[in-house]
Structure formats: C-alpha cells, structure tokens
Amino acid sequence: MALLFIYSTTRAQDALNLPADLYVLLNTGVVQRYGLGAAGVATVTPEDAFVVDFGVAPDGDQIAYRTETSISILSISGAREDRIIERQADVPPYRGRGDTIVWSPDAAAIAYTTTYGARVFFNLGEVAAYADLGEGLFLDLNWSPDSRFLAAQSDAGVWWIYRRESTTMTLTSIITAANGIAWVTGNQIVFAPPEGGLLLMNLDEANAQSVILDQEWDYALPALNVQDELLFFARDKADEDTPAGYGRLQSIARGAFDVVARSDTPVQTTGLRWAPGGALLTAFDGGVLALFDPISGAGFTLPVRDAVAYAWGRFNPTAFFATQPAPLVSTVLTPTPDAAVIVPNSISAVAGVVLPNDAFFLAFGEFNLPQVWRLPADGSVAAPVTSARGGVSEYAIAPDLSAIAYVSEGQLWLYSLVNGRVTPLTPLVSVGIVSPAFSPDARQIAYTDGGIRAIDAAGGEARSILLDTPDAEQPSFFGEPQFSPDGTQLLVSELLPGTNGVHGVVDLADGSYTRLVTDYGARALWLSDGSIISFGITTLGDPGAEQSIVRFPPNDLSAAEIIYVLTSTTRIETMTESVRGEIRLVVREDASTTPSLIDVAFVNGEQAVITQLPAILAPQLSFDGGFVGGYLTQSDVDGIVQGPLTIYNANNGEQALLGSPTSVWSFQWAR
C-alpha cells in the first residue's frame, strides 16, 4: 500500500505521545517496545530467539511470541515464570496485515494463525487444550470484549466468527465481505458491507442484523472509541468530488441516531488500522510504520525502517486523552430513518437444514480423503456415506435414492444407500471426466469413458453407446450423458474442432444419433414432457451476443424455438423445471452483482417472477426450484475449487451456512 497522506517524519524529541506501549517486530527477529512518555526503546524478547510473530497480553506484562519451532510466554517484568505453550507452532501465512497472535481479554485463551487456518490455546494451568480452525488462511484475529467470540479474517476478505465454549470453538456466523468490523458489546459486532451502509449483528439472537446507516453512503473502518462513540469514515455515493475508497470521519453516540461529522478532510482508508482508543490510525508499508490523525489526515512516521509486524500494549485512556484536543467539527447531520430495521437473510451456522430433498456433496472424510457426504432433508447433521479407499472424484445419485455411483481409483463403483454394500462395476480406460448418470428407473448407469458407455447397476459387462472418433477427419468427443424421462434416449454433449461443444441425442433402441442445432458452449437438460432446453451464448466467440433459451419439442428435434432471450452481459448460472411448463433460472447481470431468480413459462416465453438472491456462488436449484445451494466463497485448494456451503430458502428468504464440514464441493440435490 502506498502511503497517500501528507505527513512529516518525527522531529527529535524525548518521547512519543502514544495511546499505549508500541511493540515492533524487526526483520532481525527481535521485538522492541516503544514505551510511553520518556520510557524509550527496549528489546523485550530473548536474544537467542528468532521471533516470527507475537501478541501482548491484556495486562501489558506478558507477551506470547512464536519462533520457527514453538510459542512461548514470557513476563516482561519477570514477575511470572516463562513457559512454552505450543511445541509445534507452525507459522503465520501473513504478517503485518493484522493481529496473528491475540490474547482473549480474560487472558484465558490465545489464538494464533497457521498455514491451515488458526489454532486456539486454552490456558488451563497444568493441562493444555487446543482447538483448530480450518475455514481459511487468516490474516487478522479479533476477540470480542467478553472473550466469548473470535472473529477471524481470511485472505479472501471473509470474516469467520466462532463462539468459545469451554475448550471448543464453534463456527457461529460469517460476514462475507466488509470494509472493517468493530465489537461494540460482547455479542454485537458492527460491520461495513462493501455495497454501503453500516450493519449491527447480534450473535446471541440468531445473528439478527439491524441497519445503523443505510446504503446511500459508503462506510469504512468502524471503531468504538474511549468515549463509547462509534467512529467510521463516510462517503456520499453521490459525491463525485470524493473518490471511492476515501471518507470523512463521522461518529454516532451509543443509543443515538444523530450522525456527527468530525472532519471535512477526506482520508484514504485502504490499509489503515485503528490504534487503541480510536484517536489515531496506523499505516504499515515496506517496514515503515506511520501514525495519522483521522480528523486532519496529517501524521508522522515512527523511527522504524525494517519492521515486519507490530502490536499495542495495555491501553491507558486517562493518560492519553488528557492531552487530546476536541473534535475539529461538530455538525449534526440528519438522522437515518431506517435505523434498527431488521435486515432479512442473516446467515447462521447450522449443523443441518430442513430441505425439500436430501442433498449431497464431496468433502474430506476419514484419512483426509474426499468422500460423498449426505445432508438429510429432515435437518439432521451431514455425514459421510462413502469410505472409498482412494477417495471419490465424481458421483451420481440414483433418482430413487437407492444408490450412489462414484469414481475412485480408476474404476466406477456402486454404493447402496439401502444396505451400505459397495460393488465395483467396471474399470475405466480413459483419463478424464466420467460424468456418471442414472436412468430414471435407477437400473442403468451411463458414463463417459472414451465416448458414452452404459452398465447395469446390478453389474455385468459395460456397453458402448457412442464412441469418440479421435482419428476421423472431423473428430468428435462425447460426454455428459443424461437419460430422457422415459429412459429411451440419451442427451450428450459433443466436442467438435473449432467449437466449445454442441449437443446430440442417442436413441438407445437403434443407436441412431441426431445432432442438435444448439449454441456453441450451451448447456442442455431434459424437461418432463420429453423436450430439451438449451441455454447459452448464441454465437461462438462473440462477447456482445445475447444469451438465448432454446426448446426442442418432443419427437421433433429439428423444430428448435427460442423461448427467451437475455442481454449479452447476463449469465445463466443454472436452471430447473420448477413446475410443468415453467423453468426457473438463476441469472447474474454481471460479475459484480448478486444473482436473481427468474421464472419463465416456456410455452409463451412469459417472464413470471423476479426474486433477488443473496451473494452465492455456483448456485444449484433444488428440483422444485424453492431452494438454492451454493458457496459463500470459493478457493482453489490443490486443484479442487471448494468453499463453505450455504443454503438459501427462496420461499421465506432464510439463509443458512453449514457449520461442518466447513469446505465442500460438487454439491447436488437429490430428487
């Protein structure tokens, strides 16, 4: 981050007017303390320890520091005996962007980041207890004032909030994106969504959210100051003279609705953090640490040039604020009329969800191998159902919920959901996506292996349906088989040279193949009346092309008809036949917007309903169209794109986050 403030370096002086002792970790692995008043600078960590990161205890006397092998606690005054609390300490994935070792305010727990997430040490005296958090790579940790909750910010910008209960940490809520958070009570947190506004979330009331300020303004860096006022930087979205990312300091007193403007100077908020008490800001870049006045934007650099992290000691509000001037501006603005209005769609972490049908997904199970998990429709907890020795890479669910076909160790397997029996069906010759699919009666499984093949679920020899032709003058490669509702035909995708893929239909009685005139790169599915719907861009490689939905009537695949057209920027993410004669789409206007539900009657193309969805990635509609399953965030971990599973109920606007497992992929609805 570039320091875009006007500031000067410190003049020669005897002391720094700091809100608390400032501790700085140098690149040499040494922690130094810049003391209050004329205390000067002192090294506080052992000379023989190369410190990786550290955190200061609430009492200001103890410090937890991590080396490459362990985490230790020492007493700066020597009043307590030094001790090691972790002998396999790991290392922080990030430094300098937040607090990576933090003591709870009651000093009974210490949280620290790791290369797999975070770990919490519980101070039980002679006995040690630990809890591991694996939801993301964290760069900042933040305890609530009463030590009951821990907020952890991932490198993707997501805040994961955990509830501390004895020696366990339970995921209880998530903030998918925020321009800053602030604890205002032991169970209430304020955050600034990137789309604007300020929200208050109560973690003891099912994560209920209230509007403090509406979305007409952008807000950033909320903080509670020593006068019990909520500080924040604000920018009117209609203000063309103030660029995005800048804001003027404002505040609200606890329990009040009047917004007080405290500054006329716009300040760039990116990369800034509040110092204790809310009177100063810090900026850290390239080993240089600077302090800034949030009212004027003026500041000075500290005499440090090779720092890698910093932390504050015990805050002394009486000594510091006796020297601070009153706010420069005290203009009362118009109160926000929407204050304290409950916001729908708050996200709660749950063990299970009541659903219209069971759902399935892949997640790591026993021996850290991917397995198929089942999320029951009755609201009970998710649990793995397979225990494949080599893990599962793909799977399909039988329409009658009798079995799962899955791919593992180069073979196609069948797992019975009735008796738990595992049956090897057939070895796979080719390496690639297999896309297993059950027939409507669950007696056959079609799959991709050098073309389209099928095998009986009861076992036997695999049959060739439509083989690839790699050596032909115009080679074709087939995949993604789907049985027709009556089981007599297969809809398949066909990859041709110079295209993104088209579709065709195989008649299983005589083996004849009919290529459909679908858009290049389109997706397709059967409808209950035996017709086919395809959706995608209209021409290959044309970024300005409209997206069309095309229907191929039963028994006449050449009579394609366009039933609906969307703009070129709109992307259709998924589709289902919610009721007979009507399809439900999830569409996104562009990459920066949240998705919407659109109902379209395919007989006349009439658009029936539009419903805005919350932020959700890779959405999948339940077969009745009433629920959406997807991910709050997604990341690529060792080639697997995965993330936390969220379920949205389109009927009542409720959204839930599956608390365990915390990262899944290949989500599917059962019928």
pLDDT exceeds 50 at position 540: no
CA distance 216 to 643: 31
CA-to-CA separations, 477 to 166, 501, 520, in angstroms, rounded: 57, 9, 15
- 466-525 pLDDT, tens digit per residue, is 999 988 888 889 999 999 999 999 999 988 776 666 889 999 999 999 988 766 567 889
- 211-231 pLDDT, tens digit per residue, is 999 999 999 999 998 888 899
In this predicted structure, what is the pLDDT of residue 603? 64
Q: Which residue has the higher pLDDT, 657 or 66?
A: 66
- 559-593 pLDDT, tens digit per residue, is 778 887 777 677 888 889 988 878 898 988 776 67
User: Which pairs with CB-CB distance under 8 Å and at least 24 residues apart come from 382-390?
Assistant: 382/351, 382/352, 382/658, 382/660, 382/661, 385/360, 385/415, 385/417, 386/415, 386/422, 388/413
User: Which pairs with CB-CB distance under 8 Å and at least 24 residues apart come from 386-389?
Assistant: 386/415, 386/422, 388/413
Tell whether omega for the bond before 661 is within 30 degrees of 0, i.e. cis: yes
In this predicted structure, what is the pLDDT of residue 329? 36
pLDDT exceeds 80 at position 344: no
In this predicted structure, what is the pLDDT of residue 433? 93
**Among all chains, which residue has been given the structure tokens 């997706």?**
523
pLDDT exceeds 80 at position 608: no
Q: What is the mean pLDDT of residues 608-627?
A: 86
In this predicted structure, what is the pLDDT of residue 7? 33
pLDDT exceeds 50 at position 332: no
Question: What is the phi/psi pair of residue 220, to 5°?
Answer: -155, 155
In this predicted structure, what is the pLDDT of residue 592? 65
Mean per-residue pLDDT of the chain: 85
In this predicted structure, what is the pLDDT of residue 99? 97
Flag whether the pTM goes above 0.75. no
Please state, for a pLDDT cut of 70, what percent of the chain lies above it: 87
In this predicted structure, what is the pLDDT of residue 208? 87
Q: Which residue has the higher pLDDT, 55 or 8?
A: 55
Q: How many CA atoms lie within 13 A of 65 on its CB side?
A: 27
pLDDT exceeds 80 at position 430: yes
In this predicted structure, what is the pLDDT of residue 25? 96
606 pLDDT band, cuts 50/70/90, is low
Q: What is the mean pLDDT of residues 602-612?
A: 65
With contact defined as beta carbons under 8 Å apart, do 191 and 181 qualify?
yes
Burial class (CB in 10 A: 0-12, 13-18, 19+), 63: buried
pLDDT exceeds 80 at position 30: yes
The 547-552 sheet, strands edge to edge: 523-526, 532-537, 547-552, 561-566
| Residues whose CB is less than 8 angstroms from the CB of residue 354 and which lie 6 or more positions away in sequence, other chains included | 377, 378, 379
- Kindly report which listed range (187-196, 300-309, 413-422, 450-459) carries the lowest average pLDDT score: 300-309
Sign for the CA dihedral angle at 124, 126, 129, 130 comes to positive
| Most confident stretch, 273-287, 308-322, 427-441 | 427-441
With contact defined as beta carbons under 8 Å apart, do 118 and 133 qualify?
yes
> Per the structure block, which two tokens stand in for 334?
């118009």
| Residues whose CB is less than 8 angstroms from the CB of residue 517 and which lie 6 or more positions away in sequence, other chains included | 502, 558, 560
With contact defined as beta carbons under 8 Å apart, do 538 and 530 qualify?
no
Please report, as a single letter, which amino acid is at residue 342: I
| Most confident stretch, 407-421, 516-530, 542-556 | 407-421
- Kindly report which listed range (112-126, 239-253, 389-403, 595-609) carries the lowest average pLDDT score: 595-609
CA distance 60 to 75: 9
- 110-120 pLDDT, tens digit per residue, is 999 999 999 99
Q: Which residue has the higher pLDDT, 291 or 141?
A: 141
CA distance 478 to 256: 65
